[in-house]
Structure 1
Amino acid sequence: MSGRETGATAYLLREPAAGDVEGFAELHVRVWREAYRGLMADEVVDALSVETFRPIWSSIARAHAEGAVVDDGRAMLVAVLGEEPVGFVMVGPARDEDAPAPRQVWSLNVAPEHQGSGVAQRLLDEAFGDGPGYLWVAQRNSRAIRFYERNGFALDGTQAQDRHDGVTELRMVRPD
């Protein structure tokens, strides 16, 4: 998609490919262990593995390779530096019945050593744009909350307990 430079570093943003499965499954585990340690129960974080995320990334890569991505506003971009996976974003139609906006940021993750580089901003901008939307963020993930606030999202007072990991999540909304 885009090979523009972010700061002094040239990150390539593109759709996922078949060769990405292992690298992005490993990145997914590493990012979640770093971001959610102390937010999720240790046993949940410790149980995360490449095997957990490999089927997800295999499915994503296969759908993109076969042109089978549902055309309903969803977008999936990965960021690489050379061959190194450094981040990814997943956005799409709202998943909640009481959604405050038609589109949702499903996931945005960047390797810890690349946080603050501008790559998360590029991923969000290219995949989501500047229109209205919403997302869920872990209650104690202050870094992510600040990032989304800089991008026009605001906490709306809605909370939910994630049924898989028990984390309290806060809803953030960006209006029209």
Structure 2
Amino acid sequence: MTTEPYAIRLAVPEDIPAALQMKLTAWEEAYADQRPASFFANARAALEQQADWWTRGLAQGAELWIATNPAGDIVGIAGGGPAADDDADTGIGVELQLLYVLAGDHGTGLGARLLEAVLGDRAAVLWVLERNPRAHAFYAKHGFVADGRVEALADDWSGLNEIRMVRHGAHRG
């Protein structure tokens, strides 16, 4: 399947509520076997507060890329920014902070297009849930390698671990 039906652009504040709804749906699709139903209910209850935070972020220069289908529905999102201080040991200054595509749009090339929009061919670091083999394979295809760093998550994500993946140079997937 080709990606021509999708439009990718920078989000504007009016996109934030729908982008957050889409992200939550993607979480439910990807993590339903790793989080209880209450996790998703709590996340849904916090959407308005998150929308305010994300809108302020856009106003301060954060970039969020969205992908829409021909009906105008948001079916993918991605964003990045400066790498966290904890990742200074990588020597990489850019972090892919989020990338989600709805399950019905997996395998279309849309994730690769969103990754390209955020990072281009720059070196980057990212963190991904340890028990997310689909994401691991996707990122590996695009030049990322797990570097052995694992961190236990806390709060709502307690009981899960993230692994760090890095891409040290230009790569075209």
Letter in 2 for 1:75: E
How many pairs does the alignment contain? Answer: 164
Q: Is this contact kept in 1: 2:3–2:110, CA < 8 A? A: no
- Alignment CA distance shift 1:8-1:124 (3 Å): closer
1:150-171 Cα shifts (integer Å, max 9, x gaps): 0000011100011231220000
Cα distance, 1:55 vs. partner? 2.9
| Structure 2 residues not aligned, in runs of 5+ | none
Q: TM-score, normalised by structure 1?
A: 0.83
Cα distance, 1:127 vs. partner? 1.1
Q: Is this contact kept in 1: 2:126–2:165, CA < 8 A? A: yes
Give the match for residue 78 of structure 1: 66
**Given the alignment, which residue of 10, 17, 29 partners 2:24?**
29
- Alignment CA distance shift 1:44-1:96 (3 Å): farther
| Structure 1 residues not aligned, in runs of 5+ | 1-5
Letter in 2 for 1:13: I
Give the match for residue 57 of structure 1: 51
Cα distance, 1:40 vs. partner? 3.2
- Provide the C-alpha distance between the structure 1 equivalents of 2:43 and 2:57, rounded to a whole number of angstroms: 24
**Given the alignment, which residue of 122, 133, 138 partners 1:147?**
138
Name the structure where helix makes up a greater proportion of residues: 2
Q: Which sits farther off after the overlay, 37-46 or 124-133?
A: 37-46
Cα distance, 1:76 vs. partner? 1.7
- Provide the C-alpha distance between the structure 2 equivalents of 1:122 and 1:98, rounded to a whole number of angstroms: 25
Q: Is this contact kept in 1: 2:67–2:74, CA < 8 A? A: yes
**Given the alignment, which residue of 154, 168, 173 partners 2:166?**
173
Q: TM-score, normalised by structure 2?
A: 0.84
Give the match for residue 3 of structure 1: none
RMSD of aligned Cα (Å)? 2.0
Q: Is this contact kept in 1: 2:77–2:99, CA < 8 A? A: yes
Q: Identity rate of aligned residues, in percent?
A: 27
